[in-house]
Amino acid sequence: MEWVCLVVAGLFECGWAIGLKYTEGFSKIAPLVLTIISMVMSVWLLSVAMKTIPVGTAYAVWTGIGAVGVAIMGMVLFGESRDIMRVLCLLLILSGIVGLKLVSSSQGA
């Protein structure tokens, strides 16, 4: 269950990072409120996940999901670069996330 919380926390991490862009410097209230809610949910779910997942693993996975998710959303929503090297680097981050999950599972975490 903690891994599910961690993945959802990472998705909320993506939500607040993208939401921050839509606040336009904290000048738009609706996106600001949604961004703050996403921030709180992300950190709360991360803390729930850390009850059994080692802190280093949880934090690395959380930030990795956020980094990869926001980069992909930036490409889709804002037309950011889809350069092959950028995509390959994102795949490396993703492979690190999967690797951490596999190693954590084999250690009983």
What are the tens digits of pLDDT across the range 12-25? 999 999 999 999 99
Q: Write out the residue range of the structural domain in which residue 99 sits.
A: 2-106
What are the tens digits of pLDDT across the range 90-105? 999 999 999 999 988 7
Rounded distance between C-alpha atoms, residue 97 and residue 89, angstroms:
13
What are the tens digits of pLDDT across the range 67-85? 999 999 999 999 999 999 9
Rounded distance between C-alpha atoms, residue 62 and residue 81, angstroms:
23
Contact 42, 16 (CB under 8 A): yes
Rounded distance between C-alpha atoms, residue 98 and residue 93, angstroms:
9
pLDDT higher than 90, residue 108: no
**Is 0.85 topped by the overall pTM?**
yes
What is the number of domains present in the chain?
A: 1
